[in-house]
Structure 1
Amino acid sequence: MDKDSESGRHPVQPGVGYDLVGSIATNVADGFTMIAVGDLIVTRALTKSQDSAFGAIVKILHEADVTFGNMETNIFDIRSFKGSPQAEYGGAYHVSLPEVGPDLKAMGFNIVSLANNHLFDWGVEGMRETSQALDRCGIVHAGAGENLAQAGAARFLETARGRVALVSSASTFTPLSRAADPAGEAPGRAGLNSLRLARSIVVPPEMLESLRRIRNALPGFRPGRDDPDQLVLAGTAYKAGDKACYSYEADHSDVAGILRNVRQGKQFADFCIVTNHGHEPGNWSQEPPDYEHAFARRLIDAGADAYVGHGSHQLRGIEIYKGRPIFYSLGNFIMDDLRTPVGADMFAAQGKDPRLDTDAEVTAAEMGGGYETDPGFSDPVFYESVVAVSRFEENQLAELRLIPIELGHAKRLANRGVPRLASAPQAKVILERLQTLSQPFGTKIAIENEVGVIRLRPNSL
């Protein structure tokens, strides 16, 4: 162990100016609390409900200095909206009523991410209206903007115990939603802060050889220098490995930009949250993609105090790295998906006729899946998650509490997707699953009174 590790300090890293611009260390008052949840797919105001079970959740959300969620829907009034549903969309057209903005504020949310595959469901007009709706109700948001510099920039929230920065990106996004900066005479492009991934399919050597023979037999193939351990067939990269799986490599320029924005965010704040929205390798997977472990750690090294992954719509493991939490996925928090209108493309995709079928019937068909590779959201696992409550003392994570919630999988569509505290038996199932998923990261989660608990001694890491 080096001298810096023994003293509790992080070793100086290239590109991080400790003496001139401040340390990457956490700098919040004792008792600082961050609540993080997963995806917010909410279409209507929920705090007006008389549901006391949801009220108990709202009470928890208000007990933090910063309460974060991923805003995965657009907010606008369809009666006056000037945009249109896009030909490229994130799997469904997500749209919320204008009252959702103030309602999220009433729930306790004060900071959200907009970088996700649904940002451009309704084009740049939907993105802009959503940003304006959040601005009007005082919710800080990051991950989207009029160009890449704006989309990638940290956004800041003032709290009584410290200033919080948020940097957000998305590795799953529609191609036309990726923001760009100006270049020469070409103007910048509005959109999201992207983390591009190059995907390869790993197969055993004998399978790779079979693919090679197929490639060589196809018309148009021109022999040349050949790598025995990888090839490209019909635009898909394959490489040899022990077992069949997906592998990802993050774009170096995107990673560099995100790391820079994290450094700057921390230089101007006391606490920095970094989030990424990704469905890789698929919603079916309870394990994060192979690139994400190293990526999340690099973000912590650059100054992030917490990394929050979302997008897979189900829980993934938790890691504690240098005394900071890494959530590989917090699943769904609200999935109140009463989406309307759904757009002509969704009717066609689900084999429905807008003259005969309703928006709800299209939504139900899309959420039910029905294909081996697309189970939709029929599995109850998509309706089980946690509220993660991180409390910091002496500028280190002292305790992480994981409060199990369930979203009413068995309820009818109109009542499904609103969180409530899980019953004791269900809480046990959720937490035991999370224990198993976190074991590969060396994380031990105790279960106390139906709540998961991770305790760390200050200055112990």
Structure 2
Amino acid sequence: MEEFTHENGSRLGQPGDSYDTVGSIATNVADGFTMVAVGDLIVSRALTNYQHTGFGDIVKILRDADVTFGNLEVNIFDIRSFNGSPQAEYGGAYHLSLPEVGPDLKEMGFNIVGRANNHSLDWGVEGMRETSRVLDQNGIIHAGVGENLAQAGAARFLETARGRVAMLSFATTFAPMARAGDPAGEAPGRPGLNALRLAQNIIVPPDLLESLRSVRDVLPGYRVVGRNPDQVVLAGVTFKAGDTAGYSYEADPRDVADILRNVRRGKQFSDFCIVTNHAHEPGGWCEEPADYEQSFARRLIDAGADAYVGHGPHRLRGIEIYKGRPIFYSLGNFFEDDLGTPSGADMFDEYAKDPRVDTDAEVKVAEMASGFTDPIFYESIVTVSRFEQNQLTELLLYPIELGHSKRFADRGIPHLATGSQARGILERLQKHSEPFGTKITIEHSIGMIRLKPGSSR
């Protein structure tokens, strides 16, 4: 007789018990269930009222799905009545949207969004709360922030005609003060986002590690506590020896345990579970996910997730199919419509601008010029996952372009890419997905992944 257990071995229930399905992580959606997933929503204004060229074709794709997901990387409020302030710690830009964005996202077809990212608290707790109010008013389910860690980490639920959908949102890239916390004794919980903390190690060749050790040893105030021949800690940064220089990450075990438990709980209360991670690591320059991410994404699916959706580096990364479930390591940008104003004084300082002379637009253009000039940051995909018999059978990948060559006020709104540009986007995605054993075919400027029922790939 099969027994359902927690990871720690404790008994959940036996088949035949009145609660024998509590531990089940089986998917339970009606045939034809479809999930649309896109990347970052950096949008400052209502867009459906104006006939943006080609945007209507994308809106039709969004509306046709049972669940349509995006990562909301903006705060939504009216600056004229806002009682908060821009924070000293912010995500690199003070992303801000008008309140009309709430109903407009709903009109586009978005019914569920992630909130945990490096911009969640750009405008403090007040901005976080106001954004939640706008989303709630418009019936858009959201997860990833809350009044304490338990709320920020909890699954939120969307009712659809083909099944109940759970979503959890967490971030590995965030401002330190944005991390939510739980109560401890008399100390109250802390509002913020659901974080997965990562310890970063820099890998260098052995000879360079010895050079760093020599630098550390001559610095004043250094005291030898114990010599580790394989690593050096210098100015708070851990360096380790390795054959190839790069970055390595170790996930905080407490955060891992909390997230896995919340995934398991989310699936126990739903028919389909989406888990989403906002991760910049190791950086926007990198085409590959950080070294911790594949194994953790697989653990999330083992815990009950039906899809893992990554975003953050503002560029496409590969796709993996694991146990018949999609893992998107980064879906890039869906919107890059950054016309929100005003910006905080700290951002003016960051780019050597004077708010008495320079405009918000000039500051934002300077920010984009610091690392986002390449057209690849304006090329991405819309993914449509279709399930039959509770198995992923087809994954459609629609290439999109966000108007890289347009003027600042007009770019950032997606349209379907065609011709050589569409093929270029999809061929790049093919290349990024090959290391995961994923085969993407291209037909009529659309990428396709087809699976046989019961197959893992």
Partner in structure 1 of residue 287 of structure 2 = 286
Listed as ranges, the matches of 1:335-354 within 5 Å are 335-354=336-355
User: Scaled by the length of structure 2, what TM-score is found?
Assistant: 0.96
Residues 236 and 346 (structure 1 numbering): CA distance in 2 closer, same or farther, change over 3 Å?
Answer: same
Partner in structure 2 of residue 190 of structure 1 = 191
Work out whether residues 196 and 250 of structure 1, in 8 Å CA contact, stay in contact via their aligned partners in 2.
Answer: yes
Extract structure 1 runs of 4+ deviating beyond 6 A: none
Work out whether residues 391 and 398 of structure 1, in 8 Å CA contact, stay in contact via their aligned partners in 2.
Answer: yes
Aligned mates of 1:295, 1:362 — CA distance in 2 = 37
Number of corresponding residues: 447
Aligned mates of 1:335, 1:276 — CA distance in 2 = 19
- Cα drift, residue 15 of structure 1: 6.4
- Give, as a single letter, the amino acid of the residue that structure 1 aligns with 2:242: G
1:99 equivalent to 2:100? Answer yes
- Give, as a single letter, the amino acid of the residue that structure 2 aligns with 1:224: V
Aligned mates of 1:453, 1:428 — CA distance in 2 = 12
Aligned mates of 2:413, 2:11 — CA distance in 1 = 43
1:392 equivalent to 2:378? Answer no
Partner in structure 2 of residue 7 of structure 1 = none
- Cα drift, residue 51 of structure 1: 2.1
Listed as ranges, the matches of 1:344-423 within 5 Å are 344-369=345-370, 375=371, 377-423=372-418
Aligned mates of 1:56, 1:224 — CA distance in 2 = 63
**Greater Cα shift, 317-326 or 355-364:** 355-364
Listed as ranges, the matches of 1:162-311 within 5 Å are 162-311=163-312
Work out whether residues 284 and 313 of structure 2, in 8 Å CA contact, stay in contact via their aligned partners in 1.
Answer: yes
Partner in structure 2 of residue 158 of structure 1 = 159
Task: Output the aligned Cα RMSD.
Answer: 1.4
- Cα drift, residue 225 of structure 1: 2.1
- Give, as a single letter, the amino acid of the residue that structure 1 aligns with 2:356: R
Aligned mates of 1:224, 1:427 — CA distance in 2 = 57
**Greater Cα shift, 446-455 or 218-227:** 218-227
Listed as ranges, the matches of 1:415-454 within 5 Å are 415-454=410-449
Partner in structure 2 of residue 372 of structure 1 = none
Residues 314 and 11 (structure 1 numbering): CA distance in 2 closer, same or farther, change over 3 Å?
Answer: farther
Aligned mates of 2:55, 2:23 — CA distance in 1 = 41
**Greater Cα shift, 334-343 or 144-153:** 334-343
- Give, as a single letter, the amino acid of the residue that structure 2 aligns with 1:390: S
Work out whether residues 339 and 360 of structure 1, in 8 Å CA contact, stay in contact via their aligned partners in 2.
Answer: no
1:147 equivalent to 2:142? Answer no
Q: Secondary structure at the match of 2:34?
A: strand
Work out whether residues 39 and 313 of structure 1, in 8 Å CA contact, stay in contact via their aligned partners in 2.
Answer: yes
- Cα drift, residue 17 of structure 1: 4.0
1:22-60 CA deviation, whole Å, 9 max, x = no partner?
A: 411111001000000000000000001112410111001
Work out whether residues 5 and 12 of structure 2, in 8 Å CA contact, stay in contact via their aligned partners in 1.
Answer: no
Work out whether residues 83 and 126 of structure 1, in 8 Å CA contact, stay in contact via their aligned partners in 2.
Answer: yes
- Give, as a single letter, the amino acid of the residue that structure 2 aligns with 1:433: R
- Give, as a single letter, the amino acid of the residue that structure 1 aligns with 2:141: V
- Cα drift, residue 420 of structure 1: 0.2
* Runs (5+) with no aligned partner, structure 1: 5-9, 370-374
Partner in structure 2 of residue 23 of structure 1 = 24
- Cα drift, residue 348 of structure 1: 1.1
Work out whether residues 16 and 263 of structure 1, in 8 Å CA contact, stay in contact via their aligned partners in 2.
Answer: no
Work out whether residues 156 and 166 of structure 1, in 8 Å CA contact, stay in contact via their aligned partners in 2.
Answer: yes
Aligned mates of 2:355, 2:455 — CA distance in 1 = 61
Aligned mates of 1:452, 1:11 — CA distance in 2 = 39
Residues 322 and 445 (structure 1 numbering): CA distance in 2 closer, same or farther, change over 3 Å?
Answer: same
- Cα drift, residue 165 of structure 1: 0.1
Residues 287 and 15 (structure 1 numbering): CA distance in 2 closer, same or farther, change over 3 Å?
Answer: farther
Work out whether residues 169 and 195 of structure 1, in 8 Å CA contact, stay in contact via their aligned partners in 2.
Answer: yes
| Identity across the alignment (%) | 72
- Cα drift, residue 11 of structure 1: 11
Aligned mates of 1:368, 1:26 — CA distance in 2 = 44
Partner in structure 1 of residue 65 of structure 2 = 64
- Cα drift, residue 222 of structure 1: 1.5
- Cα drift, residue 423 of structure 1: 1.7
